Amino acid sequence: TTRRPWRLRALSQRALVTWLDERGLRWRADEPFAGAELDPPTTALLVQGYLLTLAVVALPLSVAANSRRHVLQGLVASERLFRQGFSESLVGMVLLRRCRDDAGHVLGGLDVVELNGVAARLLGEPEDHLLGTCWTARLGEGDQVLLAEVVEATARGRSAGWRGEVALPGDHGSRFLELALSPLPESVGPGMFVAQMIDVTARREAEERLTAQALQDALTGLANRTLLRDRIGLALSVLPADGPAATALLFCDLDDFKHVNDSAGHTVGDAVLVEVASRLRALLRPGDLAARPGGDEFVLLRAAVGPGEAEALAEEVIAALCRPVEVDGHAFVVGVSIGVVHGRAGSTAEELLRDADAAMYAAKAEGKRRAVVYFEAHREHARRSVRLEAELRRALAEDELRVHLQPVVDLRTGATVAAEALVRWQHPEHGLLPPATWLDVAEQSGLMPALGTWVLERACAVAAGWTGPEGGRPVTLHVNVSARQLEQQGFVDTVRQALDRSGLPPERLVLEFTETHLDEVSDGLLQDLVALRAAGIGLAADDYGTGYSPLTRIIELPLSMIKIDRCFVADMLEDVRARAVVTTLVRLGQSLGLEVVAEGVETAPQARQLIALGCGAAQGYLWSRPVPAEAFTPAVLRRPAGVPAARRALPAGVSPPASG
Ligand code: C2E
Ligand code: CA
Ligand code: CA
């Protein structure tokens, strides 16, 4: 605009005429200004003025008007576009300005200047309610502080905005927003920001669920084994190296929980576990952890305890869990055995769990419903098991095991009808060891299938050589089978092999399984049992009545015999309940067509009572203790002196039991 007048002023009169001439233009009378009596220079001046006016005023004006219209149209269009983009955006958009107090001082928060529908929905209020209100005040406290820092840092030019997740607390829990907060240039408006946000609550919830699933026990919501290990490790790592504080671990195993599952079903069992979990939770202090590493095992972790504190907590747990648990109108009493262990700096989570477990087993062995604090003796017990296992392997290899036999007597005739094989260990230093002192180690160490197979082979070989008493059939052989043997692949083949090798007919073999082994019979095992039974082999439920299996189990399994546990026989004469169990089992056997053998008969009155109840066979010190297999000859089998030749009643003056 400064250059244009200069150019026009420079256009001299002469130059103008020349310019017109060159373009074949001339001034004519009918042309504008023609009527004016003007000399050519004046005319030229006027023309110049006209052109000047045209150039200086009209042209720029029209150009300006034109471009302004265009600009305005453009602005309107872009404003409309922007507004549309803003309000129709699928993302929540909020235009924000730094809050000021009444005195005009800027504050850390941000006020809503404008927002779109999505943002209003995310914030849970109509747009007009939100305008002018403090947006940041709606966020969680931590987020408010964080964003105030961001706003401050932006004002000082140290931040170009922020991106992350913020919580929006509400009456029904928090919603979570992914937020992008960008400052607008100062030219647009000082202290202004635009916030874009999307709702990520669903994603966040899904993530939380996944994390929880990975670290939580699904049934009770307590921590799982992974989280437990982690937290034990953490607790140990922050313990001061010296000082009285220790990390306490309580390993709680429910007593007889299997009974609940067996008698009431798994749904009720689950409900009981959930209730147990909630009772344990109620005992926690801030910082404690309750976990369910599996089955009916629970662990409580207290990161730092003083002397006596862990024991007190264990007492609380026992008191809490000994109150009956009611489910569906039924009351269940689940006791608990607890192993308590104190971890010091330098211990590991593995050690703590192992020691607490060992102490828990000691609590079970001492009679359940108690807490046992771990001490070296428990570890000593574990070490002893390791030594014993090595010795047992040697014993098996060096042929130190023996088979003893105890007769089973027909109560009606007094004749020996069978013999039970019972294993013994002829220890080079300690002499003859009964299985009670070492069989569980064999079973736990995995030595059992081999050991059991050895007993089976040896006993079959002995029994195959027996001949019957004059005219009678040779006695049957009973062999005990452990849980490990039953689980073993190809158990049926092992039995067939033992029979084939020895030549013992299958009808002369009875396999005894303890009732507890028969509690969880898989389809595969059931098939095995059916195959054995079909081959003519007898199957006996040993120690019957001590487990918790329902009576129906006896029908589900292809059994041929029940052996009544000796604890009922021992108490039968004094205790009506024991007598009731014996009576029931004898009747059950009769009605199901199963042979019934009463175990542990030590006195003649017991034998008489059994005969009166109609029990068919018995076994016990009254007739004979187990004797070495070699001593168990057919001669011995022929009714030993003093054994009652029973037929409904025993003759008076039964001799004392023969000793083995
Ligand atoms: P069990 O199968 O119940 O065997 C009967 C146990 O009662 C035997 O103890 C026997 O000696 C004892 N007994 C027999 N009559 C009387 C009596 O009148 N009074 C008393 N108080 N006890 C009597 P043992 O030989 O010490 O065997 C203990 C357990 O070890 C057996 O209980 C059985 O479960 C297991 N066992 C023994 N040998 C073997 C074996 O070869 N394989 C397997 N898997 N287990 C075996
Ligand atoms: Ca037995
Ligand atoms: Ca038994």
| Contacts with 366 (C-beta within 8 Å, 6 or more apart), sequence order | 372
Instruction: Determine the average pLDDT of the residues in 155-181.
Output: 88
Ligand 1 center to residue 570 CA distance, Å?
A: 15
Nearest CA to ligand 1 atom 38: 422
Ligand 3 center to residue 162 CA distance, Å?
A: 75
| Residue 428 structure tokens | 């080079």
Ligand 1 center to residue 552 CA distance, Å?
A: 26
Q: What distance in Å separates the CA atoms of residue 168 and residue 295, rounded to the nearest whole number?
A: 39
Nearest CA to ligand 1 atom 37: 422
What pLDDT does residue 3 have?
44
Atom number, ligand 1, closest to the C-alpha of residue 423: 38
Categorize the per-residue pLDDT at 31 as very low, low, confident or very high, splitting at 50, 70 and 90.
very low
What is the crossing angle of helices 257-264 and 266-281, to 10°? Answer: 140
Choose between 463 and 38: higher pLDDT.
463
Atom number, ligand 1, closest to the C-alpha of residue 657: 18
What pLDDT does residue 359 have?
92
Ligand 3 center to residue 565 CA distance, Å?
A: 6
What pLDDT does residue 419 have?
96
Residues with CB under 6 A from ligand 1: 406, 421-423, 434-436, 439, 452, 455, 480-482, 512, 542-543, 566, 599-602, 619-621, 626
Q: What distance in Å separates the CA atoms of residue 605 and residue 595, rounded to the nearest whole number?
A: 21
Scan for tokens 């000593």, then name that residue. Answer: 380
Q: Quick one: which of 85, 96, 107 has its CA closest to 193?
A: 96
What pLDDT does residue 8 have?
42
Give percent of the chain with pLDDT exceeding 90.
49
Ligand 1 center to residue 260 CA distance, Å?
A: 28
Choose between 324 and 459: higher pLDDT.
459
Instruction: Determine the average pLDDT of the residues in 244-249.
Output: 87
Most confident segment among 100-114, 184-198, 202-216, 610-624:
610-624
Q: What distance in Å separates the CA atoms of residue 171 and residue 173, rounded to the nearest whole number?
A: 6
Least-confidence region, from 142-151, 374-383, 494-503: 374-383
Atom number, ligand 1, closest to the C-alpha of residue 543: 3
Whether the predicted pLDDT of 318 surpasses 80:
yes
Nearest 10 degrees: Cα torsion 628, 633, 638, 643: -10
Q: Quick one: which of 506, 470, 445 has its CA closest to 637?
A: 470
Query: Tens of pLDDT along 349-364?
Result: 999 999 999 899 889 8
Categorize the per-residue pLDDT at 39 as very low, low, confident or very high, splitting at 50, 70 and 90.
low
Instruction: Determine the average pLDDT of the residues in 206-210.
Output: 82
Whether the predicted pLDDT of 276 surpasses 90:
yes
Atom number, ligand 1, closest to the C-alpha of residue 619: 15
What pLDDT does residue 77 have?
81
Whether the predicted pLDDT of 36 surpasses 50:
no
What pLDDT does residue 476 have?
96
| Residue 426 structure tokens | 């002829």
Whether the predicted pLDDT of 260 surpasses 50:
yes
Ligand 1 probe mutation, 406, 424, 480, 546, most atoms within 8 A of CB: 480
